[in-house]
């Protein structure tokens, strides 16, 4: 259950066909640049104005989960995702429909919020998210962290899986009217603790203390 650890930094494996492959980002690499959340929005807008841009995001989130019987509630998920920004979701789904011989008439629902740019989305409540196309290459394995009695610990799958809800690709494909789902992810700005845009790594300043504690625990995973 409670795993001791190594610090893991962002590693560039390769850059091929304008796609960056990032390994892990639970620890911020030496030399990363301090940044505020508002500055992230501006950096993303600047990058996507030049076209599709590789990005890697480290986030600490509270995933949808069942509370009953969940002694670790809330369970936190420390995740690193690499992919691209600057691509339109609706257009991407319609291209997939056409490839499969369907009609290119998909429209995203109103619940998607308002796009301030191709990749910056503001919800009706005012929350800002970054929209990313995840890389089809291997993504780093998320780390789940929970607490008992005020002490955080890294959880094994047997500890978190009975409670955390994970949406399956088949359900997404059905919503889009395609056989092969077009996967886009949205990461809320206030959950981001680190981001790589192009080849520059940034670390977010003044992280919420609880999220910082969760991040610190995830940086101590022992390599098995």
What pLDDT, on the 0 to 100 scale, is given for residue 109? 65
Contact predicate 145/96, CB 8 Å = no
E strand or H helix that includes residue 61:
strand 53-61
Residue located via tokens 């955390």: 164
Q: What is the CA radius of gyration of the chain?
A: 18
Question: String of b and e for 179-194 (b: at least 16 CB within 10 Å)?
Answer: eebbbbebbebbbbbb
Higher-pLDDT residue of 20, 155? 155
User: What would the pLDDT profile of 34-52 be if each residue is shown by its tens digit?
Assistant: 999 899 999 999 998 888 8
Whether the per-residue pLDDT at 5 is higher than 50: the answer is no
User: What would the pLDDT profile of 73-90 be if each residue is shown by its tens digit?
Assistant: 999 999 988 888 987 777
Tell me what the pLDDT averaged over the chain comes to.
79
In this prediction the pTM is: 0.77
């Amino acid at each position: 259950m409670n795993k001791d650890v190594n610090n893991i930094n962002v590693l560039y494996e390769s850059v091929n066909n304008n796609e960056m492959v990032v390994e892990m980002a639970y620890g911020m690499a030496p030399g990363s640049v301090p940044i505020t959340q508002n500055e992230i929005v501006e950096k993303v807008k600047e990058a996507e104005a030049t076209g599709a841009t590789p990005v890697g995001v480290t986030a600490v989130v509270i995933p949808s989960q069942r509370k009953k019987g969940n002694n670790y509630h809330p369970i936190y998920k420390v995740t690193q995702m690499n992919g691209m920004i600057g691509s339109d979701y609706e257009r991407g789904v319609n291209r997939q429909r056409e490839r499969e011989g369907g009609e290119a008439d998909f429209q995203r629902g109103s619940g998607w919020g308002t796009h301030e740019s191709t990749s910056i989305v503001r919800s009706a409540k005012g929350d800002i998210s970054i929209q990313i196309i995840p890389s089809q290459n291997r993504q780093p394995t998320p780390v789940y962290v929970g607490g008992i009695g005020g002490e955080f610990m890294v959880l094994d799958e047997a500890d978190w899986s009975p409670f955390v809800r994970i949406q399956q690709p088949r359900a997404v494909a059905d919503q889009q009217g395609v056989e092969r789902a077009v996967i886009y992810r949205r990461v809320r700005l206030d959950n981001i603790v680190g981001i790589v845009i192009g080849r520059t790594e940034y670390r977010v300043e003044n992280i919420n203390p609880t999220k910082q504690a969760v991040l610190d625990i995830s940086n101590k995973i022992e390599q098995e």
